[in-house]
């Protein structure tokens, strides 16, 4: 039997995902070893294969069918905008996508001024400012430590993920507006959903039960 392949966003989301699969009786011992550098793992008895990918690549693997299923944050799903079925909110990895900056930047937002917005998520930021707020802004794509941008004068505000708010607090920044809530989602390749409907539906059902419990 062909294994069902699951792409996991490596890091905390992957660990949480494997906890969930463990609860439905699908585990891979090797994946709990922090010194292990393997990227792909199989549980033959369960007919499942798991691989670890960079979060932003998970939707790509799933759209092309290299993975039948993906588990990744809603932020990445929105940003990548791939053709997939989003089937389940897993309820972990909860955080928010926010517009943040120094308190003094609130006025720029209120008056729809032409400001610079630094972000790792240009699509989400563009959608928010252009389609929702009807505010013209200049978007600046960064790849990490986004909180630096308003501090060193690269941008007036940022669009970024806020989880505990610690990074903002420690850098003298505030949440100015909330774009949307985020959490980990299960996504499925559109062809796999048809060809492997029975097995994938059973998996979704089992995961849904664990999440509710
Ligand atoms: C994320 C996000 C914030 C931080 C928020 O960064 O971009 O910087 O976590 O978490 P907090 O509200 O709990 O402080 P991440 O650690 O993923 O690194 P990055 O700088 O590469 O984006």
For ligand 1, the distance from its centroid to the CA atom of residue 162, given in whole angstroms, is 7
Residue nearest atom 10 of ligand 1, based on CA coordinates: 163
Å from CA of 73 to ligand 1 middle: 13
C-alpha span between 52 and 109 (Å, rounded): 39
Ligand 1 site residues (CB inside 6 A) read 120, 144-147, 160-167
- Residue keyed to tokens 């517009």: 99
Mutate which of 125, 167, 171 for ligand 1? The one with the most ligand atoms within 8 Å of its CB, which is 167
Atom of ligand 1 nearest to the CA of 95: 12
Instruction: Determine if the pTM surpasses 0.85.
Output: yes
CA distance 203 to 199: 6
Taking CA atoms, 129 is separated from 111, 132, 153, 213, in Å, by: 13, 6, 20, 38
Local structure of residue 31 (DSSP, 8 states):
G
Q: How far is the CA of 161 from the centre of ligand 1 (A)?
A: 6
By alpha-carbon position, which residue is closest to atom 2 of ligand 1? Answer: 161
pLDDT, residue 213, reads: 87
For residue 84, what pLDDT is reported? 98
Given the CA of residue 162, which atom of ligand 1 is nearest to it? 12
Res 1: pLDDT: 85
Per-residue pLDDT of the chain (213 residues), as tens digits, is 899 999 999 999 999 999 999 999 999 999 989 899 999 999 999 999 999 999 999 999 999 999 999 999 999 999 999 999 999 999 999 999 999 999 999 999 999 999 999 999 999 999 999 999 999 999 999 999 999 999 999 999 999 999 999 999 999 999 999 999 999 999 999 999 999 999 999 999 999 999 998
């Amino acid at each position: 039997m062909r294994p069902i392949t699951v792409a996991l966003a490596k890091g905390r989301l992957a660990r949480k995902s494997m906890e969930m699969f463990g609860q439905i009786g699908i585990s891979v011992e090797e994946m709990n070893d922090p010194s292990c550098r393997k990227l792909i793992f199989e549980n033959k008895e369960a007919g499942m294969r798991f691989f670890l990918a960079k979060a932003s690549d998970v939707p790509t693997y799933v759209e092309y069918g290299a993975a039948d299923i993906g588990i990744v944050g809603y932020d990445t799903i929105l940003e990548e905008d791939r053709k997939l079925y989003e089937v389940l909110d897993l309820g972990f990895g909860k955080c928010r996508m926010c517009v943040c900056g120094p308190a003094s930047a609130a006025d720029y937002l209120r008056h729809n001024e032409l400001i610079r917005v630094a972000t790792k998520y240009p699509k989400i930021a563009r959608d928010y400012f252009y389609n929702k707020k009807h505010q013209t802004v200049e978007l600046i794509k960064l790849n990490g430590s986004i909180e630096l941008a308003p501090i060193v004068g690269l941008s007036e505000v940022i669009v970024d993920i806020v989880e505990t708010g610690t990074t903002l607090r420690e850098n003298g920044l505030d949440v100015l507006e909330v774009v949307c809530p985020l959490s980990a989602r299960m996504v499925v390749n559109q062809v796999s959903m048809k060809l492997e409907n029975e097995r994938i539906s059973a998996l979704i059902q089992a995961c849904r039960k664990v999440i509710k419990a």
